[in-house]
Amino acid sequence: MMGRGGSYCVSRGTSFAQVLKKNMVVTPGCSSFVPQPASDFHTYTKPKPLDQAGNSPDKISSGPKNIPKELIERYKRGETHAVSLLYQLSQVLQFQVEMKETVTTGGITGFYFAFCAVIDGVEYKTGMGVNKKEARAKAAQLALEELLPVLENDGVLPDSLVGPPPLPVKEREYPLSETHFGRTVFERKNPVKDQIPSTIKEMFSKLMDSYPEFAGCGGTVAAFVTQTSIGCEVVALGTGNLNTKESLTPSGRILHDSHAVVTARRSLMRYLYRHLLLFFSKNRSLEEKSIFQQDQNTKLLSLKSHITLHLYLNQLPKGAAQIPSHLRLNPLSISAWEVNNQIGLHVMIDGKVFSVFSSTFEQCGSHVVSMSATDKITQWQVLGFQGALLSHFIEPIYVSSILIGDESCSDTRGMEVAINQRVDGITSKLPMYYCVYRPHISLVPSVMATDAHSTQRTLSLNWSQGDVSLEVVDSLDGKTVEESPFKSGPALASRLCKAAMLSRFNLVSKEAQREELLTAVSYREAKMMAKPYQEAKSVLKSYLATRGYGQWVEKPPISDHFTM
- Per residue in 79-129, pLDDT (tens digit) is 788 888 888 888 777 778 888 887 765 545 445 678 889 887 788 888 888
Look at residue 497 and tell me if it is in a domain. yes
Are 138 and 205 members of one domain? no
Are 263 and 148 members of one domain? no
446, 407 Cβ separation under 8 angstroms:
yes
Angle between helices 69-76 and 82-93 (to 10 degrees): 170
Report the DSSP pairing between strands 370-371 and 346-349: antiparallel
CA distance 381 to 237: 18
CATH number at residue 106: 3.30.160.20
Looking at residue 336, what is its pLDDT? 54
Are 522 and 437 members of one domain? yes
Look at residue 232 and tell me if it is in a domain. yes
Hey, how many other C-beta atoms are within 10 angstroms of the C-beta on 291?
23
Looking at residue 2, what is its pLDDT? 35
Are 127 and 222 members of one domain? no
- pTM of structure: 0.69
Are 137 and 278 members of one domain? no
Are 141 and 220 members of one domain? no
Report the DSSP pairing between strands 97-101 and 232-238: unpaired
456, 469 Cβ separation under 8 angstroms:
no
Look at residue 10 and tell me if it is in a domain. no
Looking at residue 335, what is its pLDDT? 56
Are 69 and 207 members of one domain? no
Are 358 and 469 members of one domain? yes
Looking at residue 40, what is its pLDDT? 34
Torsion angle of alpha carbons 50, 56, 62, 65, nearest 10°? -30
**CA 39 vs CA 172, 222, 343, 367: distances in Å:** 21, 31, 15, 37
Looking at residue 365, what is its pLDDT? 58
CA distance 27 to 370: 48
Look at residue 407 and tell me if it is in a domain. yes
Sheet holding 370-371, edge to edge: 352-355, 346-349, 370-371
- List CB contacts of 558: < 8 A, sequence separation 6 or more: 248, 249, 250
**CA 494 vs CA 11, 202, 241, 395: distances in Å:** 52, 25, 17, 27
Looking at residue 521, what is its pLDDT? 85
Are 252 and 391 members of one domain? yes
Look at residue 149 and tell me if it is in a domain. yes
Looking at residue 8, what is its pLDDT? 34
User: Which regions in the chain score pLDDT beneath 50?
Assistant: 1-66, 107, 109-110, 154-189, 328-333
Given 163, 178, 196, the domain boundary residue is 163
**CA 287 vs CA 170, 274, 281, 284, 395: distances in Å:** 51, 11, 7, 5, 18
Given 163, 196, 221, the domain boundary residue is 163
CA distance 482 to 258: 17
Check residue 440 and report its DSSP letter.
Answer: E
Are 77 and 216 members of one domain? no
> Where in the sequence is the domain holding 522, given as residue range(s)?
187-560
Look at residue 173 and tell me if it is in a domain. no
Are 241 and 292 members of one domain? yes
Looking at residue 65, what is its pLDDT? 43
Looking at residue 67, what is its pLDDT? 55
Look at residue 3 and tell me if it is in a domain. no
Looking at residue 158, what is its pLDDT? 41
Are 339 and 456 members of one domain? yes
Look at residue 386 and tell me if it is in a domain. yes
Looking at residue 369, what is its pLDDT? 86
CA 190, distance to chain mean position in Å, is 18
Domain tally for the chain?
Answer: 2
